[in-house]
Amino acid sequence: MAIPRRYSHVVFGVIQAGLTSAVASAVAVWASPDSSAALVRWLSSWLLSWAMMLPVVVFAAPFIRRAVEAVTVE
């Protein structure tokens, strides 16, 4: 099942938000003094941060792309 290209900004947002929140939550969890149950804490932290980042990335990505295109040249 292929996703129509017109939804590419949403797919981009899902992947970008997932990756960004995974890295950020991993750093936060493993940098904390209590490293017990780090995997469980990371997973819950990642799910929460992904849910919060997804709408930000999906709605911001088109504006960011336009801004990049405006300040760059081929």
* CA nearest to 62, candidates 7, 1, 3, 9: 9
- More confident call, 31 vs 23: 23
Instruction: Tell me what the pLDDT averaged over the chain comes to.
Output: 80
Q: Once rounded to an integer, what is the mean pLDDT over residues 46-66?
A: 83
pLDDT of residue 36: 66
Cβ atoms within 10 Å of 50's Cβ, excluding its own: 19
Residue 49 CA to residue 18 CA, distance in Å, equals 9
Residue 54 CA to residue 12 CA, distance in Å, equals 10
